[in-house]
Every structure is written in C-alpha cells, then in structure tokens.
Amino acid sequence: MDSSSSSSSFDRFSRRAAVIARHLRDPALPAAASTAAAIEAAPCLRYTPPELSEGPPAFEPRELRRLLDGHGVAERDWLFRAMEESPLFCPRRRGGSGEGRVFVAPDYNQTKEQQREMTMRRIGHLKSRGVFEGWLTAAAGDDEAEMRKLAFLECLGIYDHSLAIKIGVHFFLWGGAIQFFGTKRHHDKWLKDTEDYVVKGCFAMTELGHGSNVRGIETIATYDKSSGEFVINTPCESAQKYWIGGAANHATHTVIFAQLHMDGINQGVHAFIAQIRDVDGNICPNVRIADCGHKTGLNGVDNGRIWFDNIRVPRENLLNSVADVLPDGQYVSSIKDPDQRFAAFLAPLTFGRVNIAVNTVYMSKIGLAIAVRYALTRQAFAITPNGPELLLLDYPSHQRRLVPLLAKACAMSFAANYLKKMYLKRTPESNKAIHIYSSALKAVLTWQNMSTLQECREACGGQGLKTENRIGILKSEYDVQSTFEGDNNVLMQQVSKALLGEYVAAQKRKIPLRGLGLEHINEPCPDIPENLTSSILRSFKFQTDIFCLRERDLLKRYADEVSQYQAKGESKERATLLSYPLAEDLARAFTERTILQTILEAEMALTAGPLKDVLGLMRSMYSLICMEEGASFLRYGYLSIGNAAAVRKEVMALCSKIRPHALAIVSSFGIPDAFLSPIAFDWIDANTWSSPNNELQWSAAAQLYESNGINLFACTK
C-alpha cells in the first residue's frame, strides 16, 4: 500500500472519530476535558405542554368550534361529561407523577362477546340518563329535537363506533323504517316501545348474494288470503340475510325486506315487521340465526345471519306507506310505476349515508388532534451540530403531511353540516338531490377519513400502533364505512349518472340547468390565467373558476363519450359502464366543488378578523391540495405543468402560514381531552414505570383479582 493511500485512510478515520467525539462531548465542556466527563448522560427529555410553547391563539377556538359543529355544543359537552363520569365507559388513569390524566375508551382486549355485552350495558346507562328521550316520539317538525339527536349520535361515535352503530341500527334503521315506511297503526304500536327498548330492533335488508343491489334480493313474501298473513321464506342460501346488526344476540324484532309475490306477480321489494326472539331471548320458531363471527372492527355489534323458514306475519305488519294489501288480497298503491315506487320506498334510507358522512369527519378530527398535539411536543434530530432537536411539526415535510389534512377536515365539516340541514328540511321534491349529495359526500368523506387516519398513524411513529393511542384502532373500526350503506365506487357512479341525466334533459329541452349547484354551467366558460401568482392561487374567484371549469368540462366529456358508445350500438346502460373513468372523475369534481362552496360560504358569512383570515387560509389550502392531488387537473389540461408546479409551491407556503394556528385549529374540533389519547399530552409521564396502566402490571393485577372471584369486566380500572 503506498503512503498516499495510507494517509487518506487515516484522514477518514480521524474525521469520523472527531464526529463521534463531538456527539459524545457535552458542548459546555472544553475540548480537553476528561473522557469520563465528556460522555456523561445528557439531561432527560422534558414534556412541555403545547399551550405553553405555542403561545395564545390568534382567534378564539370556541368560535371555530361553533362553526364546525354547527349546532348543539352545550348538548355535546353534557353527553361527553356523562360518559366520562360513568365506570361503564372504561376510564383509565395514565401518568406516574401527580394525578395523571383519565382517558375513556372501550377495552378492545375483551372478547367479542364481552364487547357486545358492554355495548348493551352502555346503552342501558344512556337510556337511564334520558339520552334517547324523544328520538322517535318527538313531534313532527321539531328540528331542535332532531338536531340534538344528531349531535348525541356524533358524540357516541367519538367514544365508540360499535356503540353508535348499535344505537343507529335500532333507532334509525329499525325505528326509521317504522316511521317512514309505516303508517299510524305502526307508529302507535312500535315507536314508543322502541324508544324505551321494550323491543330491540334490527334491519334485515342485506343478503349474502345482494348488498348494494337491493332490487335483486331473493327473500320471498307471499300472501295467504285464508289466514290474512304473509308467508316469508328464504328460498336459497344466497338469500340468507347477512351482516344484520343486532341479530346475533339482542334483537327481538326485525324489518324484513322481501320480494312481494301477489297472484304470481312480483310487486317488488316491500318491508314487513317480524318477531325473531321472545321476551326470554329464545329464537322464534321458523327462524334460524347464526353469528357472522369476529371482525376486524365493530366487534361490539352482534352482526348475524338470518334464515326464514316460511315464517308467518300478520297482514298488518306490512309497512304500508307506499303500498298495501287489502284483506281480500288486493294489492293497492298510489304509485303505479314500479320504478318510482321503489325509489319512494328507499328514499328515507338516505339518512344512513348522511350519518356516516357526518360521523366520519369526527374520526379524522380525533386522529389529527392526537397527531398534531404529539408533533408539537415530540422532537427529533437537530439541524446544527450542537443545536436542540426540532419539534416534528417544525419540519416542512411533517407540516406537508398534516396541515393539508387539517384544511380538509374543516372544509368537510362544513359540507357535512350542509348535508344535515338539507336532510332535515327534506321534501318529496328534494329526495333526489339528497340522494345525490349524500352518496357523493359519504364516498369522498369516508375515503378521506381512511387516508387521514393512515397519515396520522404514520406521523406518530410506533406510538400510533398502540391501541390506547386510538388512531390505529380507529382505522380498523371505520374501514367498513367505505362499503356499508352503499359501496363507495357504486355510489360515485350513481352520482355521475344522475348528473348526466340532468345535463341531457336540459340539453333536450333547451333549458338552463337548475339545482345541484350546476347553474354555473349556464354561464360563460371561466378563463384561467396563464401565469398563476400566489395572490391568484389564493383568490376564491380563481379557485371557484377552476373547480367549475373542471366539473362542466368533465360533464360534457362524459355525455359525449356515452353518446359515442351509443352511436356504435351500445345500450345506454352499457355505454355508461364503459365510460366509468370519466364518471369517476366527474363525481369527484362535483363533490369537491360542493365542499369548496360550503367552506367559502362559511368564510364569507364572517366579519373581518383573525378567524376569517385563518378560514381563508384553510379554504385556499383545501382548494390547492385538491388541485395537487387530483390527476384530472393535469390530465385534461386545466393546469399546465408550470402552473401545477406553482400550485405545489403554494401548498408548501400555506403549510408554513397555517402551522402557527395548528394547535388552535385542533382545539376547535371540540374533542374532550379524555377522548383523545396519552400521546396527545404528556407521553413521557404516561409511559413511566409507575403509570397505573403498565401492561405487565395490569395483567398481573387482573389475574390476582380474578383468582379472588372479582371480575374486571366492568371496566372500572
């Protein structure tokens, strides 16, 4: 080896040794200090609450919460406190110094049988506190009672998805079916008993062979004139009722959806009330019930499968608001067209999608509140040799991960509130619009929730995997939302088909488009500037123009492509199926333009001040992140490559502008501390050996208690 090579190796070794020495040496010590002194341990990390390190908010978080919640702030806080105060909601104290903090969350380590039983015990407690009073018996048109009910349901979902779903099936599916499909005789007999849980209802629509395609269900109902009864039968295995919430353990009654055959003619899908268990919980004759088994989430809900072996139900148990069968077997309906009758029959079920869209935004808020608070206290690496470690949220890359999601959560809150108000003010004429909006928002908001929770989970590192930190378990609990109450992909195609129908009808009749926010298509095509400066990118006019431009262009492209397929001999149905890529882009464009309009309206309603300024930043972030993430803006030329780069740069600029407001924004989400998780607060203290929730200590304690005959199943840890 020559001397130059040897010298080079020695130099590299010396440089590396020096780097290691600098890492080990206390910066306050002189370079000549002893080795023993130089490698003494650095002071331990200390937790500093973000409320101290971040300084006072620029706006009042309570005011933003009022806008985001939309209604019922006092009622929500009352129910949150009621859950925190009860041992049934599993309060757990975390932290080894002082008194620590108390968090409430279900015990997901329980078996599915235990989780189901705890769900019912919690429902019993909530009933005793008067939570469900008036949910089914309030006077018609009592909007205040309706809004209070929706606020309560949202709070229950924040605690536990299983609890909210179990209650939702009982009140809104079983109870809602009686309310909307039934008439006075059904209301008088069933609604009060349902509200008081004298009967426990479920909703037998979905079958093994048919989920989204309700019209194709195979369960059959025939009318026996001699006895005045309907005979309901499961003719084949694919007709078994499947995923029926409440059926496996607790439900005493169900609404059965079946094809009504009258004198050899299929009159389509109808609904019937049937008893499936007696007062002692025994399964009724001619009914078979099986458990759907353990699931990746929602194990507090007893989903079951049901077979009907020629079960008989009285004629009066047909829910007859749309159609009826007279004692002599005559079938009567005020709606003669079968398609219109089917549409009228299913219209009230849109509430399920409304509720999912609203509830899913709160799950995003939980994930973001935890991830942002953690990022405001967790440090990692230093950018100078002897400098302090940086907070996670001070890294531009971490801001890019979380800040756009804050904007989306806020924007989608306004859209969810818009949907709620539309539903509460519904009329027969508005049912079609409600179906379109609820389908679109349910799909986009649930998809976004899963993306948000995944990003929040990763942003919390290994801590995001712990069940007690909520984010990971919320992913499992809420994944189902993309497929129940309608598969998201199917719903989005329904949205596009509806928009196409409106467009084609207006073209044929040569009239302007009206409704669904499509009036902008009647106006001249907006002009997008060639060079997009920062001020243009942040202007609501540009944002509205480019969202409208995308929507109107995609609607025309979709109509043209469907027409071209039809010109080649394809049926209209086949043509729309073949055009599904454009259909997906169109439905997304419609939904994102709707969301933008709702946050813009909220912003415009505010007087000048810090809150309006911050909401303007959030609106701009929502708009620009949709442009950056949406391939259609580049694919169809609404943005040039250069302007797309400008959008990306502006997103980063907005991240740094919104960063100082991050704590105030998540504080405005209105999630009580107890419903967040340990890493949202003093995560060091929560993980000390003396913390009462040390898993090994808890396991040992559980075994000790159980050996003495004490069941910790009551969740009084």
Instruction: Extract the tokens encoding 535.
Output: 């001020």
Distance CA 59, CA 204 (A): 49
**245 is known to lie in a ligand binding site:** yes
Place of tokens 């109509």: 559
In this structure, how many other beta carbons lie within 10 angstroms of the beta carbon of residue 62?
A: 11
Residue type, position 335, single letter:
I
Asked whether the beta carbons of 286 and 277 are under 8 A apart, the reply is no
Distance CA 705, CA 575 (A): 66
Distance CA 389, CA 382 (A): 4
Asked whether the beta carbons of 586 and 39 are under 8 A apart, the reply is no
Query: Crossing angle of helices 431-459/471-478, nearest 10°?
Result: 150
Query: Crossing angle of helices 471-478/350-375, nearest 10°?
Result: 160
Sort strands 241-245 and 101-104 into parallel, antiparallel or unpaired.
unpaired
Query: Crossing angle of helices 431-459/396-424, nearest 10°?
Result: 160
Residue 435: half-sphere exposure toward Cβ, Cα within 13 Å: 23
If phi > 0 it is left, if psi is from -120 to 50 it is alpha, else beta; for residue 310 that is left
- Smallest Cα–Cα separation from 219: which of 384, 227, 208, 228? 208
Concatenated DSSP letters of 128-149: HTTTTTTTTTSPTT-HHHHHHH
Strand (E) or helix (H) holding 254 = strand 253-262
Give catalytic status of residue 485 as yes or no.
Answer: yes
Asked whether the beta carbons of 181 and 269 are under 8 A apart, the reply is no
What is the sign of the dihedral through the CA atoms of 276, 129, 84 and 696?
negative
- Smallest Cα–Cα separation from 85: which of 682, 670, 671, 674? 674
Asked whether the beta carbons of 663 and 54 are under 8 A apart, the reply is yes
Asked whether the beta carbons of 495 and 513 are under 8 A apart, the reply is no
Place of tokens 């069940």: 467
Distance CA 650, CA 538 (A): 9
- Candidates 485, 502, 592, 650; catalytic one: 485
Residue 84: half-sphere exposure toward Cβ, Cα within 13 Å: 17
Instruction: Extract the tokens encoding 554.
Output: 């995609």
**206 is known to lie in a ligand binding site:** yes
List residues bridging with 313 in a β-sheet: 230
Question: Catalytic residues, which ones?
Answer: 485
In the annotated binding site, the residues are 206, 245
In the annotated binding site for FAD, the residues are 206, 245
